[in-house]
């Protein structure tokens, strides 16, 4: 985890991005990040200096940020204020190291944030603290003024955003973030080609589906709460800084949140699993049915394909097809796991169709109904197609016709 020091980036005069790249294969020990991921902190310098958000206390990470501070000729002791928008340890885990470097700063967070800070780090007994709420301000001098806006449940209940008034910079922590590494010398949307920006948008979709989707109503509330703020830059805790067109990532998040609530795109995601190849034999019939209606379809096999990518595809797809065999009177467990995650992430109001094989007994459909009801997903299913053993010609025809009907309904 060492040897990862990066240079600091000046966003606008007096505001700097500090970054530590994540080189773990999994974020939160669950989500693959083959393209890497950036952990961002920000320095705001007026007469006094504040740091906004931090990074996880991994081996080598505090040193990474301290080296960047040193390059700016800022000593840790010069930091008077630590603004913690979100107390999740990937953004607050280095407080211990900062405290060892200097104990003279004040931690600012929401009241709930300070309570979480006590749970994780006992901060009220070790630091000066100040609870802030929407509309509270902090004047750093030389025209640098911070305003705080509570955006609870994006994605923890203590979350807030910080806004610097002179530059119009919004620091929203996990909101408006993405997967994907960020180069040292190119860190804003103005620095990338359109093709590269679309890659970050794709990683933002997967980040949203994996991390934020369960809180989509809160995302829409946060966007509404921030609508009165003159946002000219967005500096998130993960991903690139949106400087040329900050509304682009806001629009994208609004779109993601809307998709999760049930107004997604007219396309289909097919998720299937098969122990011995019987359910597999009907997959192509379902794919062809969708294609013959002229709609795009993405196909995933579980558990071979990671649920991270499946969630992202399902978030944008209004139509879902499931190829699910029965396994010990229940669903094939990897598909049950995917459906459980879809329920947890609140992927609601889909149009769906299910097919699958069974041996001596069925049961997959019963568990499917249980999961849909448990999470109140309100999916609208076409009549399923179940077949004993391998599918016969008439079974394949039914699968084809139901998939075609599903796709046709998405065009209406």
| Predicted confidence pLDDT, tens digits, the chain (412 residues) | 333 446 688 999 999 998 877 768 999 999 999 999 998 999 999 999 999 997 765 555 667 777 878 888 888 888 899 999 999 888 887 777 777 777 688 999 999 999 999 998 888 888 889 999 999 999 999 999 999 999 999 989 999 999 999 999 999 999 999 999 999 889 999 999 999 999 999 999 999 999 999 999 999 999 999 999 999 999 999 999 999 999 999 999 999 999 999 999 999 999 999 999 999 999 999 999 999 999 999 999 999 999 999 999 999 999 999 999 999 999 999 999 999 999 999 999 999 999 999 998 889 999 999 999 999 999 999 999 999 999 999 999 999 999 999 999 999 8
Strand 37-45 relative to strand 26-27, pairing: unpaired
CA–CA gap between residue 323 and residue 282 (Å, rounded): 8
Q: Where are the domains of the chain?
A: 9-260, 268-410
- Helix (H) or strand (E) holding 362, with range, is none
CA–CA gap between residue 98 and residue 218 (Å, rounded): 31
Predicted TM-score (pTM) of this structure: 0.94
Residues in the chain: 412
* C-alpha dihedral sign at 4, 5, 7, 10: positive
268-410 is a CATH 3.40.50.720 domain: no
The CA-atom distances, in angstroms, between 220 and each of 118, 310, 382 are 29, 23, 31
389: region left, alpha or beta (phi > 0 left; psi from -120 to 50 alpha): left
Q: Which long-range contacts (CB under 8 A, 24 or more apart) does 31-37 make?
A: 31/179, 31/206, 31/210, 31/211, 31/308, 32/306, 32/308, 33/179, 35/179, 35/180, 35/181, 35/199, 35/203, 36/179, 36/180, 36/181, 37/179, 37/180, 37/181, 37/238
Please provide the CATH number assigned to the domain covering 9-260: 3.60.15.10
CA–CA gap between residue 187 and residue 287 (Å, rounded): 40
Query: Cβ(80)–Cβ(53) under 8 Å?
Result: no
Q: Which of 257, 252, 209 is nearest to 234 (CA)?
A: 252
Q: What is the number of other CB atoms lying within 10 angstroms of the CB of residue 196?
A: 14
Query: Cβ(72)–Cβ(43) under 8 Å?
Result: yes
What are 136's two structure tokens? 């509270």
Query: Cβ(207)–Cβ(155) under 8 Å?
Result: no
User: 9-260 and 268-410 share one CATH topology?
Assistant: no
């Amino acid at each position: 985890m060492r040897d990862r020091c990066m240079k600091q980036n000046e966003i606008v005069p007096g505001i700097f991005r500090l970054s530590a790249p994540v080189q773990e294969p999994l974020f939160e020990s669950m989500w693959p990040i083959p393209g890497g991921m950036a952990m961002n902190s920000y320095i705001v310098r007026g007469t006094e200096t504040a740091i906004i958000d931090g990074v996880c206390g991994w081996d080598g990470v505090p040193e990474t940020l301290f080296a960047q501070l040193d390059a700016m000729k800022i000593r840790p002791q010069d930091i008077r204020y630590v603004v913690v928008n979100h107390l999740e340890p990937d953004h607050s885990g280095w407080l211990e190291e900062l405290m060892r470097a200097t104990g003279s700063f004040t931690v600012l967070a929401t009241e709930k944030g300070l309570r979480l800070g006590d749970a994780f780090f006992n901060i009220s007994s070790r630091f000066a603290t100040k609870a802030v709420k929407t509309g509270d301000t902090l004047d750093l001098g030389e025209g640098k003024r911070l305003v705080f806006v509570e955006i609870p449940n994006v994605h923890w209940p203590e979350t807030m955003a910080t806004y610097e008034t002179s530059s119009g910079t919004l620091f929203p922590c996990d909101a408006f973030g993405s997967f994907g590494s960020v180069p040292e010398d190119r860190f804003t949307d103005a620095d990338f080609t359109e093709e590269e920006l679309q890659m970050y948008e794709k990683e933002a979709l997967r980040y949203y589906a994996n991390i934020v989707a369960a809180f989509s109503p809160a995302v829409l509330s946060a966007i509404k709460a921030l609508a009165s703020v003159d946002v000219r830059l967005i500096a998130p805790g993960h991903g690139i800084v949106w400087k040329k067109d900050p509304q682009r990532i806001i629009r994208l998040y609004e779109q993601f949140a809307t998709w999760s609530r049930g107004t997604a795109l007219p396309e289909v995601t097919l998720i299937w699993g098969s122990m011995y190849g019987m359910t597999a034999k009907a997959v192509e019939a379902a794919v062809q049915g969708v294609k013959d209606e002229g709609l795009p379809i993405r196909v995933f096999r579980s558990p071979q394909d990671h649920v991270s990518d499946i969630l992202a595809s399902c978030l944008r797809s209004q139509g879902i097809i499931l190829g699910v065999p029965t396994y010990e009177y229940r669903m094939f467990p990897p598909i049950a796991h995917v459906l459980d995650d879809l329920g947890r992430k609140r992927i609601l109001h889909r149009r769906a169709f299910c097919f699958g094989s069974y041996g001596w007994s069925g049961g997959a459909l019963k568990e499917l109904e249980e999961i849909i009801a448990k999470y109140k997903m309100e999916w609208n299913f076409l009549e399923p197609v179940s077949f004993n053993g391998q599918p016969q010609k008439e079974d394949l025809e039914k699968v084809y016709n139901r998939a075609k009907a599903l796709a046709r309904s998405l065009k209406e």
